[in-house]
Structure 1
Amino acid sequence: MRNKRKLLIEQLDQKLKPFQKTEMVLIPDKGWIHTIRTALNMTMNQLGNKLKTTRQAVKRLEDNEVKGSITIKSLKEVGEAMDLKFVYGFVPKNGSFNDLINIKAEKLAQKIVLRTNQNMKLEGQGIGDEKLNETIKDLASEIKRDMRKSLWD
């Protein structure tokens, strides 16, 4: 099961590789629909005609996009009407899914090891920094390998 999950994560990272630079894309203040429509010199009436709706409905779509309350269905319809392909997805904020898992595993391992070490210190049995770092690294590897559900708590 571990190898299958690892393979799935690697495949996911490969599929999303073309989207890694999307973090550099800034969403226009007036939204994509308005920005693209005006760049193409298309009026709200013209887009409304393509969508078989009114100018006011187009204005609502544009406003809803800016507010973040537009539906995926509406975005797809607008894309079709403007001869565009609508694309959506999720990409990790920093690097790949593998990187995300590594970061989460290290944070969880550090939390567990430091909490345990604190209790051991109170009993006079704490470990040194070098051993502490090694233990964190080992536990992080184990957490990542097992892909514990606690990784996402």
Structure 2
Amino acid sequence: MYLAQLRLEQVDAALAPYHELREMRPPGGGWLRAVREALGLTVRQQAARVGISASSLHKSEQSEADGRISLAQLRKLADGLDCEVVYGLVPRKPLTEMVEEQANRIAASEVMGVAHSMTLEDQRPSEPYLRRQLDQRRNELLAGKRSKLWR
């Protein structure tokens, strides 16, 4: 399990510089159009540079603005603008936090389900005991196979 935790922490660290980019939104007409226009290229000029028709470039720019363009097409058109496509997934919160929250949810569901049954029988354990059980179960889940957290 040490390796799984290490991998999780390494991916979290690698993604950390990108967290501030989550708030960045592309220009209304998309990046392809914004860069092309900033360079002073017309649709016809840029289409000729990448070897496609002006109408195909226009459609591709619109597809990018609408979020429907393929990565392959975006890379080809970006290359024609001497740009790189930078692709990644940026978690809304650290991956370690997601894993811990999921382990907490499962532990709470399991432990509190038993506590509820015991309450019905007027045998509910004390709060400190329940907290210890929750902590123990969460730690067991975190020490086990990560795939079991996402059943």
| Stretch of structure 1 that moved more, 48-57 or 19-28 | 19-28
Mark the CA change 1:9 to 1:83 in structure 2 (over 3 Å): closer, same or farther: same
Deviations 1:72-117 (A, max 9, x none): 10111122111111111112101x2112211222122222222222
| Stretch of structure 1 that moved more, 130-139 or 20-29 | 130-139
Q: Which residue of 1 aligns with 2:9?
A: 10
- Find 1:127's aligned residue among 120, 125, 128: 125
* 8 A contact 1:92–1:100 mirrored in 2: no
Mark the CA change 1:9 to 1:40 in structure 2 (over 3 Å): closer, same or farther: same
Instruction: Report the TM-score when normalising by structure 2.
Output: 0.87
Q: Distance in 1 between matches of 2:15 and 2:40?
A: 32
Q: Which residue of 2 aligns with 1:112?
A: 110
* 8 A contact 1:19–1:91 mirrored in 2: yes
Equivalences, count: 151
* Secondary structure at 2:36 match in 1: helix
Q: CA deviation at 1:27?
A: 2.7
Q: Distance in 2 between matches of 1:22 and 1:15?
A: 14
Q: Distance in 2 between matches of 1:66 and 1:46?
A: 20
Q: Give identity over the alignment, percent.
A: 25
Instruction: Report the TM-score when normalising by structure 1.
Output: 0.86
- Provide the alpha-carbon RMSD of the alignment: 1.9
* 8 A contact 1:20–1:91 mirrored in 2: yes
